[in-house]
Structure formats: structure tokens, C-alpha cells
């Protein structure tokens, strides 16, 4: 692995300062400060215009003022997520911070012991989704997109590991090409995979998302279909400040002779659920992500 660059070191130093600051504050104050800072600074970056473009694609009939208000509120949410990441252990340890709503599909996974796949999206504070599964008696295994800065990745990974008692695996790391097979093996033995499924996957199937084809990861649906376990979509919703609610629905997984078509259909089902939830609280989703970018270089900016 190449040595960290100067840019990596400077970013890591900034994260270290942020970590010290937010951990020194009460949880609600840390969350609020993160939201205010990002609401103020982030609209000055190129990603703000990207978010507005994506909002226009998704909501072509929406007025410009409303789109800008949603984008500003999105930055507030993402700033809160940034700050809350540094106190994730405290959030997870306080049951009053997370209301377990209708999680019947996940409860059935816990009761059956057969394993399952729970797919969330970048909404509210998605980092807490695994904690909900823990409270239901599951030991979720996480699989996530690693950060490009190895120094920041190491810091964030330590914060995330505590909420994944079944293990945490970075895509492309922790064993290289066999990471996916290791995760599949865990689910086959009755484990529960927790994964985010709303990011663009250039080699994945194109599924309808706000009426526009979007390339998506087929992995969650592929695991569920191959192993015959439930596929569940879960949505975290921010209620007020650093307080949340999580709900879930089971996604139908066809099992015909055409595995590729089955996986694409289940992946489309996940995205229908995602779209429904995003329409309810658009300010809590990740509009800066290049979800509708055409297939191409996997290393293209996200």
C-alpha cells in the first residue's frame, strides 16, 4: 500500500481535530453544531450544484426555492451525521435515541435463525441502522464502501466496528477478492448482512429510480436469492435533533430459472422502497451522490 499523501495527512489532521471537538460536547450540541457548520460551508462547494441538479432530475415540477431549501436541509443532516459519527458509541448506547418502529421483517429473521440481508440507504443517520438489528437480537455483519483516504478510513472504521458485532468488511479490502464470499458464508451460516444499497454500481443492473435508469449494486439481492433468505429494506428517519426511528419492509425476491432477471427485479424492488421513503423526507437523503451517472470508471467521483 502506498504511503499516505500530504493531502491524506492534512485531511486526517482535520478529522482528528473534529473528533476531539465533537466528543468534548454533549451529544445534542455536537449534532447541532455539525449541522450548522455544514449548512453554512457546504453550499459554497461544487457538490451543492450537483445536489440541485439531482433534485431537479428527481422533482422536475418542483420550484427552485423548494429545491434549494431541501439542499440546505440536506447539508444540515449530513453535517449532523458527520458530528454524530464521532459519538456513535454514545448514540448506540442510549436506547432513547432510536425508536424501533415496524421492523417485523427483521424480527422474523431473528426468530428464524436462517440468516437474512437487510439493506438500508443513506438517509438520516444510516450509521445507526445496525444498532437497531442488535436490539432485535441479531449480530449484523457489515459491508461498506471504504473511504479513499487510508488514514481517515482507519479512524472511521474503529467507530463503525462497535455497531457490527458480526464483523465489518470493506469492499475490496479485508481479504481482497474473497471478501464477498466470506460475507456470503456468514449469511449461509445464519448470519445477518447489513449493507447500504443506494450507491451507484457501474457494473450493476440499471433500475428505475425517480423515473430515470440508475445503475445499482446487485449484491444484496444476489445473496438473498442464492441462499433463499429474506431481503429486507430498512429506512432510518431523523425525528428531531439526534433522535431517530427505523422501519423496514420485506422485498420480494423472484426465484425463477433466470437468476440475472430475478436479481434485477429484486434490486428494482429495493429502489422502489428507497424512492418512496426519499419522497417522504427528501432533505434526509444523499443528493450529492452520482446515482444517475452512466456506467464507466469505478473510480469516478461519487
Per-residue pLDDT of the chain (302 residues; tens, 9 = 90+): 568 899 999 999 999 999 999 999 999 999 999 999 999 999 999 999 999 999 999 999 999 999 999 999 999 999 999 999 999 999 999 999 999 999 999 999 999 999 999 999 999 999 999 999 999 999 999 998 888 899 999 999 999 998 999 999 987 644 546 889 999 999 999 999 999 999 999 999 999 999 999 999 999 999 999 999 999 999 999 999 999 999 999 999 999 999 999 999 999 999 999 999 999 999 999 999 999 987 654 544 44
Q: Is residue 166 in some structural domain?
A: yes
Instruction: State the total domains in the chain.
Output: 1
Contact 194, 224 (CB under 8 A): no
Contact 214, 271 (CB under 8 A): yes
The number of angstroms, rounded, from the C-alpha of 290 to the middle of its chain's C-alpha atoms is 14
Q: How many CB atoms lie within 10 A of CB 259?
A: 13
Q: Is residue 193 in some structural domain?
A: yes
How, if at all, do strands 212-215 and 206-209 pair? antiparallel
- Residue ranges making up the domain that contains 127: 6-284
Contact 89, 162 (CB under 8 A): yes
Q: Is residue 114 in some structural domain?
A: yes
Which residues are CB-neighbours of 41 under 8 A, at least 6 positions away? none
Q: Is residue 220 in some structural domain?
A: yes
Q: Is residue 302 in some structural domain?
A: no
What are the distances in angstroms from CA 199 to CA 132, 195, 209, 218? 21, 11, 12, 11
Residue 43 DSSP class = G
Q: Torsions phi, psi of 106, nearest 5? A: -70, -35
Q: Is residue 291 in some structural domain?
A: no
Amino acid at each position: 500500500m502506498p504511503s499516505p499523501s500530504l493531502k491524506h495527512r492534512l485531511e486526517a489532521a482535520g478529522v482528528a481535530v473534529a473528533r476531539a471537538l465533537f466528543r468534548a460536547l454533549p451529544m445534542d450540541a455536537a449534532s447541532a453544531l455539525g449541522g450548522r457548520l455544514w449548512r453554512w460551508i457546504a453550499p459554497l462547494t461544487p457538490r451543492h450544484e450537483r445536489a440541485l441538479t439531482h433534485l431537479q432530475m428527481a422533482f422536475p415540477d418542483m420550484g427552485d426555492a423548494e429545491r434549494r431549501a431541501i439542499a440546505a436541509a440536506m447539508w444540515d443532516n449530513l453535517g449532523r451525521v458527520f458530528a454524530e459519527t464521532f459519538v456513535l458509541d454514545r448514540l448506540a448506547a442510549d436506547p432513547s435515541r432510536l425508536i424501533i418502529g415496524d421492523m417485523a421483517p427483521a424480527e422474523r429473521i431473528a426468530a428464524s435463525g436462517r440468516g437474512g440481508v437487510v439493506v438500508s440507504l443513506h438517509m438520516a443517520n444510516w450509521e445507526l441502522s445496525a444498532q437497531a438489528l442488535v436490539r432485535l437480537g441479531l449480530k449484523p455483519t457489515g459491508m461498506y464502501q471504504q473511504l479513499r483516504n487510508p488514514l481517515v478510513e482507519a479512524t472511521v472504521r474503529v467507530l463503525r466496528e462497535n455497531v457490527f458485532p458480526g464483523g465489518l468488511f470493506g469492499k475490496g479490502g479485508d481479504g481482497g477478492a474473497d471478501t464477498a464470499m466470506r460475507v456470503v458464508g456468514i449469511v449461509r451460516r445464519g448470519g445477518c448482512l447489513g449493507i447500504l444499497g443506494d450507491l451507484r454500481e457501474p457494473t450493476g443492473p440499471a433500475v428505475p429510480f425517480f423515473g430515470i435508469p440508475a445503475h445499482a449494486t446487485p449484491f444484496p439481492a444476489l445473496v438473498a436469492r442464492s441462499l433463499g433468505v429474506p431481503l429486507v429494506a430498512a429506512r432510518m428517519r431523523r425525528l428531531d435533533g439526534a433522535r431517530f426511528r427505523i422501519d423496514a419492509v420485506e422485498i420480494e425476491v423472484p426465484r425463477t430459472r433466470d437468476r440475472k432477471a430475478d436479481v434485477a427485479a429484486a434490486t428494482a424492488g429495493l429502489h422502489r422502497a428507497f424512492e418512496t421513503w426519499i419522497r417522504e423526507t427528501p432533505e434526509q437523503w444523499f443528493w450529492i451522490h452520482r446515482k444517475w451517472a452512466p456506467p464507466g470508471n469505478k473510480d469516478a467521483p461519487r
